[in-house]
Amino acid sequence: MGDGSLSQDEIDALLKGTDEIAAPTGVPTMEVAPSTGALSPLERDALADIINQSMNAVAPSLGAYLGKNVRITNAYVEVKSVNAVRADFNRQYVQVAMDFTGALRGKNTILLGMNEAGIIASLMMGDDSGTPPPELSEAHQSTLQEFISQMLSSCATQFADRKGGMVGTTPPVISISANSSELQLPPGNEVVKITYNLNVENLINSKFYQIMDIGLATELVRTAPVGGMGMQAHFTPQPQMAAPQMGAVGVSPVKFPPLGEGIPTSLGPNINLLLDVRLTLTVELGRTTMLVKDILGLGEGSIIELDKLAGEPVDLLVNGKLIARGEVVVIDENFGVRVTDIVSPAERVERVQ
């Protein structure tokens, strides 16, 4: 029509086209698709995003352990049968079983190639060249346990923030699988296989793997983060809502977190400027107070009673400030400390004041 208005045929054609495209452009709702025993493609992508975010936050602390820049990227999630997974790992691997507990429960195993495991173990034992040892001794395996424990414990902290409850881990159990039949996989017919790109400065450019049970992956990906909508399993078209009346608008006060608790989980790229700063780490077995005359009377064979009981955790101090507690262990002929507890940010701030 010449006056710019539409004919009835044109209006009918437009309405028909609108009906055909309405479904994919619906408004997302809080409804989650019921579990079918496996993850949908959308859920697999969401799980990859969650894992990538956690590993990005964990990588700087792992780099501090190794004295090298560490990057863990491009998590690729697959749902596979147990037999298919065993077929993927038909050579030697170092496997570390470390399950999640608390608000998020499930079986979990990390798999590292022998060469990558040897390089990481050498770096953690002070060999800056990262030359893999001829064989992984008990000491090497112990350091690998600590490396994986640090990684998954930090991930548990990230998952706890998402879950809104305490998430813990079981002690790591390390072993070497000579072939696929010795793999310690979660129970069930299907498992979730996650493949990561692992890059350790000039030494490792390879992959490592995480195998978790379907239930753990499902619970993680379908849990709404605290204060957020969570992962939407699918979209449902909703009818267009009329604009609310001005008087019906709900107003609530802004809730700010308490000062001292808003510590970011990721320190960002600028933390690299501080990674070569040397700090003094002290392990304190205990303390006591003595008179000057008693100190002057000390001699060979004197016994000093400390303020801690046998078996109590020792304190780890950085530049005189308490940051963690741990238990004394022996590695070959040297003493070491296995970290068992990290002081909370609030407690650290309180001690500094």
Per-residue pLDDT of 235-246, as tens digits, reads 344 444 444 454
> pLDDT band at 197, cuts 50/70/90?
very high
Domain carrying residue 109: 41-221
Length of the chain: 353
pTM over 0.85: no
Task: Say if 303 falls within a structural domain.
Answer: yes
- Return the pLDDT at 36: 42
Nearest C-alpha neighbor of 195 from the set 213, 214, 212, 209: 209
- Return the pLDDT at 30: 35
Same domain for 76 and 199, yes or no, is: yes
- Return the pLDDT at 5: 62
- The last residue of one of the domains, among 221, 238, 255, is 221
Same domain for 88 and 185, yes or no, is: yes
- The last residue of one of the domains, among 183, 202, 221, is 221
Same domain for 285 and 217, yes or no, is: no
Average of pLDDT values for 16-21? Answer: 48
Same domain for 216 and 286, yes or no, is: no
Same domain for 56 and 134, yes or no, is: yes
- Return the pLDDT at 249: 52
Of 183-187, 284-288, 331-335, which gets the smallest average pLDDT?
331-335
Nearest C-alpha neighbor of 118 from the set 176, 48, 193, 37: 176
CATH number for the domain that contains residue 65:
3.40.1550.10
Alpha helices in 164-235 (DSSP H): 214-221
Residue with tokens 């379907």: 214
Average of pLDDT values for 161-176? Answer: 87
Mean pLDDT of the chain: 78
Task: Say if 171 falls within a structural domain.
Answer: yes
Task: Say if 313 falls within a structural domain.
Answer: yes
CATH number for the domain that contains residue 338:
2.30.330.10
Average of pLDDT values for 139-156? Answer: 89
Same domain for 73 and 202, yes or no, is: yes
Task: Say if 131 falls within a structural domain.
Answer: yes
Contacts of 350 (CB under 8 A, 6+ apart): none
Name the domain count of the chain. Answer: 2
